[in-house]
Amino acid sequence: MSLSGLGDNIHGGEILLPVRGGYIIVTMLLALLLNLIPLPGWLSSATPDFVAVIVLYWSVFQAHRVGLWPAWVLGLLMDVADASLFGQHAISYCVAAFAGIFLHRRIQMFPMSYQIAHVLAILAGQQALQLLIRLIANADPPDMLYFVSSLTGAALWPAVVGILLVPMRRRTKLEEVG
């Protein structure tokens, strides 16, 4: 997806093939693995929460198939893997999934630039909820780069949408041959 496509609708009225459940599961597990890659200092603060982005993506584009349960389970797995307060990620991922499901028709209808703004607001809200939970539990406050991961997650939204929609696009006879 090019930058010139930021004003265009996502799939321009194109009818997409149904997504397979296994594809959804694989993308969620891949996002979980990407979250677990250890990175040094500032780079870890700037890395998006891949699970939150993928949960939000599937909540927006497959709202009827992906509900709150995958967000809850992935959140609990992240809590265990991150050794954070149990339920912290689960609650925030569920809030992000709920926002995605609630706003899915609106987000799909908007051009990419507005989608990015919605995604940024949802990811920042999800992170703010995690921060609130951490502060209530008397955890140390995060560094000043805490919300940068929401910005990078929103910046990755066009690429995530472009990549994850590929298996659902219909192939024409010319594409199959060449």
DSSP assignment of 78-111: HHHHHT--TTHHHHHHHHHHHHHHHTHHHHHHS-
Q: Return the SS3 of 54.
A: helix
In a domain, 177, yes or no: no
Annotate 63-76 with b (16+ C-beta within 10 A) or e (fewer).
Answer: beebbbebbbebbb
Nearest to 165 by CA among 48, 50, 9: 9
> Rounded mean pLDDT of the chain?
87
The reported pLDDT for the residue numbered 175 is 56
- CATH number, domain of 42, equals 1.10.1760
In a domain, 178, yes or no: no
Region 31-48: what's the mean pLDDT? Answer: 89
Tally of domains within the chain: 1
Phi–psi pair at 177, nearest 5 degrees: -75, -45
- Which domain does 93 fall in, by range? 15-170
In a domain, 176, yes or no: no
- Which tokens belong to 135? 């502060």
In a domain, 175, yes or no: no
The reported pLDDT for the residue numbered 43 is 86
Does residue 174 surpass a pLDDT of 60? no
In a domain, 7, yes or no: no
- Would you call 125 exposed, middle or buried from its count of C-beta atoms within 10 A (0-12, 13-18, 19+)? middle
79-114 pLDDT, tens digit per residue, is 999 888 899 999 999 999 999 999 999 999 999 999
In a domain, 95, yes or no: yes
Report residue 176's pLDDT band, with 50, 70 and 90 as the boundaries.
low
The reported pLDDT for the residue numbered 42 is 77
In a domain, 165, yes or no: yes
Whole-prediction pTM value? 0.85
In a domain, 83, yes or no: yes
- Would you call 134 exposed, middle or buried from its count of C-beta atoms within 10 A (0-12, 13-18, 19+)? middle
11-23 pLDDT, tens digit per residue, is 556 677 778 889 9
